Amino acid sequence: MTRLALIAHDEKKPELIEFAQTHRAQLLEYELIATGTTGKRLMEATGLEIDRMASGPLGGDLMIGAQVAEGRLDGIVFLRDPLTAQPHEPDISALLRICDVHDTALATNLESAAYLLEGVADREE
pLDDT value of position 44: 98
115: left (phi over 0), alpha (psi -120 to 50) or beta: alpha
pLDDT value of position 82: 83
Strand order in the sheet with 75-79: 50-52, 31-34, 3-8, 75-79, 105-107
pLDDT value of position 83: 82
* 93 assigned ligand-binding residue: no
Q: Cα–Cα distance between 20 and 125 in angstroms, integer?
A: 21
Q: Cα–Cα distance between 33 and 48 in angstroms, integer?
A: 10
Residues tagged active-site: 61
Taking only the tens of pLDDT, the chain with its 125 residues reads: 899 999 999 999 999 999 999 999 999 999 999 999 999 999 999 999 999 999 988 999 999 999 999 999 999 999 998 887 677 776 788 999 999 999 999 999 999 999 999 999 888 77
* 55 assigned ligand-binding residue: yes
pLDDT value of position 81: 86
Classified as helix, coil or strand, 4 is strand
* CATH number for position 104: 3.40.50.1380
* 56 assigned ligand-binding residue: yes
pLDDT value of position 55: 92
* 23 assigned ligand-binding residue: no
User: Per the structure, how many domains does the chain have?
Assistant: 1
Q: Cα–Cα distance between 68 and 65 in angstroms, integer?
A: 5
Helices (H), the chain: 13-22, 24-27, 36-46, 60-69, 92-101, 110-124
pLDDT value of position 85: 65
CB-CB contact of 76 with 106 (8 Å): yes
pLDDT value of position 98: 97
- The boundaries of the domain holding residue 10 are 3-124
